[in-house]
Each structure stands twice: as structure tokens, then as C-alpha cells.
Chains A and B, each alone.
Chain A
Amino acid sequence: DAGVIQSPRHEVTEMGQEVTLRCKPISGHNSLFWYRQTMMRGLELLIYFNNNVPIDDSGMPEDRFSAKMPNASFSTLKIQPSEPRDSAVYFCASSFPMGGSESEAFFGQGTRLTVV
């Protein structure tokens, strides 16, 4: 398996524009996580899905952020409108809890977002 695949790797956009980040989890994994990493706040969990259903979105900063998982092999994180403070590295991760929560998360390479 190629691992968790994220696209794009880098994104530079102007303030106010819509940004869409994409993630393909590892085949067979049924949990998917979106994290945001910044120097100031570290690694924050934004939202996670189990079997394509959002379970906990309490980490989503505000209404400008939305995430979807239309099927088991694809998820998007959208920011509309984007702001400079959204600049960060966004990671997608997937896991396969084997009857519990003991499976580790496998991370993608991340998308480095810069909003100017």
C-alpha cells in the first residue's frame, strides 16, 4: 500500500479564497483524522471519522472549516474563506481500530498551507 496520500503537498493562496485539501486513507482503514500543526499550538485534532461518519468535530476552529468523507477512500478539508492565521501544515491520518482503539494512526506527508 502507498500509505496515506495527501494533496497538494504545498498550497499558497490569497486571503479570502477557498482552499480544499484532499486525503486518501490506507485501504481497509476505517478511521480517518485531520490534524493541524503550527509552532504556536502544536498538533491539534480537528475532526475524525469512523466508517465515513464524523464522530468528533470539536476541534474544528470555526464555521469556515468543513470536512467531508463521501466514501471510504476519500476525504476533504475545506476552508472558506481562508485567512492568514490558517497557515499551517495539515495532516491526514488513518487507522484500523481492531475491536478497540489500539491501532496506531498512519500519517500522510502533510499539506503546507500558506495564506497571504
Chain B
Amino acid sequence: AQSVTQLDSQVPVFEEAPVELRCNYSSSVSVYLFWYVQYPNQGLQLLLKYLSGSTLVKGINGFEAEFNKSQTSFHLRKPSVHISDTAEYFCAVSETSKIIFGSGTRLSIRP
């Protein structure tokens, strides 16, 4: 059965600093991986997705993620964050069309 673990429930960073949000998954078959962002009082929006091919995936708002099969990880990174990146970020895994989400990481940006 598939599962997703986001180790950090909260990540505080200073504006313009780099950030990495960690995600590990488990699955018995090939999976597809996603990162979503949720701004306050809104639904979830897709940031990026890994289906196949290049292990480095670029998404919207300057975010990117790297798929590492040997470590079963899909960490999200941004080289320089902005106040507007304050939100909750969810990693998700999909197999057989069922999509499971991690518990989320709240990113807070300090000026």
C-alpha cells in the first residue's frame, strides 16, 4: 500500500533564503508523485508532478523537486523564498488512480 511521510510539520525560513521541504514515500509499484500548495482558506493547487523521465522536475513559482528512487524521496526546493510563499505544502503519491497525501508542511517566511 502507498503512503507518504512529510517529516517536518513546520519550516520557518527568512525571506530570500533557500528552503527544502522533505517528502518520503512507500509503494509496492511504480508511482507518480506530486507537490501541492494550499494558501489560507483555499483548496489545493498543483505545484509540480513527477511522472517519468528526468528526475528533476520544475514547477510553478520557482519551485523544483527531485525524485530519488533509491531513497524513495521527492523533496521540494526553492533557492530563494518570498513572503508570498507562505502556505502549507503537501506531497502526494498516486498509484492505480488513488491519490494519497502527506500530513503537510507549513512554510512560514520571516522578513
Contacts and interface: CB of A to CB of B under 8 A. Distances in A.
Contacts of B43: 4, 91, 107-110
Interface string A49-66: 010000110000000000
A97 interface: yes
Interface in A72-116: 91, 93, 95, 97, 100-102, 104-110
9 contacts: A42-B101, A42-B102, A43-B44, A45-B98, A45-B99, A45-B101, A55-B97, A91-B43, A101-B94
A55 B51 contact: no
A56 B98 contact: yes
Interface in B18-61: 32, 34, 36, 42-46, 49, 51
Contacts of B96: 101
Contacts, number: 60
A95 B49 contact: no
Interface residues of A, number: 25
B55 to A, nearest CB: 16
Contacts of A106: 46
A110 B94 CA distance: 21
